[in-house]
Amino acid sequence: MPLYNAKFSSFGSFAPKKVVNNFDMEKLVETSDEWIRTRTGMFERHYASAEEAASDLAVHAATNAIEASSVKYKDIDLIIVGTVTGDHPFPSTGCMVQKKLGLKNIPAFDVSAGCTGFVYAVEVARNFVESGNAQNVLVIGVDVLTKITNWNDRNTCVLFGDGAGATIVSRAGKGDISRIIDALIFADGSQSDLLYQAAGGSRMPASHETVDKNLHTVYMEGNKIYKNAIRSMFASTEELLRRNKLEVKDIDWVVPHQANLRIIEGLAEKLHLPMSKVIVNIEKYGNTSSGTIPLAADEAIRSKKIRRGDMIVLTSFGAGLTWGSILARY
């Protein structure tokens, strides 16, 4: 039994200034605005500059989240960053964020779970808060996929953008209506070869050859991932509702990972959920990996779509393979 309840105190987000649209992509590879729109629902993406790394985006999003809450900087007692495109292989981007926010003597670490990084990081934070080991956890989902994109591969390069989102997972007070009710996270490492970055780790350290062969970029078998995506987000969401004795009609909003509008629509159809209850902003940002869910949630909260007390489901899938869902009253 948890000692305490955890809740989302607030959200924040950030996307870099440079915007690239489908017509810009047409100049880069053999593609078209029509193909990208109809196959993915994307139109624009934000790209980080040469000087911007994951922690730079993360700190902007974190600052926005902290300012939107009543939590003071000094009250944050843990930082968790979900990312696969950290500033460095080591140390963690969490440590970079801690340094930039000037927070001292608190733990900070990263979670690597592909596009499910934010969902995994929230689930870790929830456990810290429920067990009484933390009171206010700064959780960030950030990715800068354009830094590991193969610009000659039309199958992947049109899909990705850069962005960050953050939340503060806090101990809920007595009588607080906000609560993270439950969560489920999963992995299937036997399918890790469907989506990965081949070189740069201890399996294949960086060499002239790995650079020449473009092995430091994203490799993805999009079609196989696509089918897995709908199945896994549906299964984890359905199980989460079932074990909390809830039905789809009890959910006010689903905030899904934004990888492809057709995947999102496929999920909604399987759940018998109207698209009017699904938060979608893929046309503006593309796939920002761990950034998509907190970015979409933050926009929906700021535009007053998602309100305090609403029942929400966050659901994602990604490299690993990994997937999972979170059920919360915002």
Closest CB to ligand UT7 among 259 and 297? 259
Q: Which residues contact 273 (CB under 8 A, 6 or more apart)?
A: 248, 251, 254, 267
For the segment 54-113, give every residue that binds ligand UT7 (CB under 6 A): none
**In the set 155, 192, 210, 214, which binds ligand UT7 (CB under 6 A)?**
155
CA atoms within 13 A on the CB side of 203: 6
Whole-number Cα distances in Å, 296 to 53, 172, 206, 303: 21, 23, 35, 11
- Determine the Cα–Cα distance for residues 314 and 205; give it in Å rounded to an integer: 35
Catalytic residue (choose from 5, 64, 136, 287): 287
Return the number of the residue (18 or 39) whose C-beta is nearest ligand UT7: 39
Site for ligand UT7 (CB under 6 A): which residue of 195, 280, 296, 326?
195
Does 133 bind ligand UT7 (CB under 6 A)? Our answer is no
Least separation in angstroms between CB 42 and ligand UT7: 9
Q: Does 231 engage in binding with ligand UT7 (CB under 6 A)?
A: no
Task: Transcribe 158-197 into DSSP letters.
Answer: TTB-EEEEEEEEEEPPTT---EEEEEEEEE-GGGGGGEEE
Task: Show the binding pattern over residues 27-56: x = contacts ligand UT7 (CB under 6 A), - = does not.
Answer: ----x---x---xx----------------
Both tokens of residue 175?
A: 């009588």
- Min CB(140)–ligand UT7 separation in Å: 18
> Using the rule CB under 6 A, is 229 a contact of ligand UT7?
yes
What phi-psi label fits residue 208: left (phi over 0), alpha (psi between -120 and 50 degrees) or beta? alpha
Closest CA to 116 of 260, 315, 327: 315
Largest Cα–Cα distance of the chain, in whole Å? Answer: 60
257 tagged catalytic: yes
Among 209, 223, 242, 307, binds ligand UT7 (CB under 6 A): 223
Instruction: State the nearest-atom distance from the C-beta of 226 to ligand UT7, in Å.
Output: 4
Query: How many residues contact ligand UT7, by CB under 6 A?
Result: 19
Q: How far is the CB of 107 from ligand UT7 (least distance, A)?
A: 28
Compute the distance between CA of residue 80 and CA of residue 22 in angstroms, rounded to an integer.
33
Q: DSSP secondary structure string, 255-277? A: EE--S-HHHHHHHHHHHT--GGG
Q: Beta strands of the chain (E only): which ranges? A: 6-14, 18-21, 44-47, 78-82, 108-111, 136-144, 162-171, 179-187, 195-197, 218-220, 253-256, 311-318, 322-329
The SS3 assignment for 282 reads helix
Among 106, 147, 226, 238, binds ligand UT7 (CB under 6 A): 226
Residues 262-321 binding ligand UT7 (CB under 6 A) are 287, 318
- Answer for which of 5, 260, 288, 325 binds ligand UT7 (CB under 6 A) is 260
Contact (CB, 8 A) for 98 and 108: yes
Residues linked to residue 182 through DSSP beta bridges, in sequence order: 327
Mark whether 287 is an active-site residue. Answer: yes
Q: Which is nearer to ligand UT7, 158 or 301 (CB)?
A: 158
Q: Which is nearer to ligand UT7, 128 or 323 (CB)?
A: 323
- Cα 14 to Cα 29, 166, 203, 208: the distances in Å are 28, 9, 33, 34
Catalytic member of 115, 228, 260, 281: 115
Q: Which of 5, 95, 257, 281 is catalytic?
A: 257
CB of 267 to ligand UT7, least distance (A): 11
Provide, rounded to whole angstroms, the least separation between the CB of residue 156 and ligand UT7. 7
Binding site for ligand UT7 (CB under 6 A): 31, 35, 39-40, 115, 154-155, 158, 195, 220, 222-223, 225-226, 229, 259-260, 287, 318
Q: Which residues are catalytic?
A: 115, 257, 287
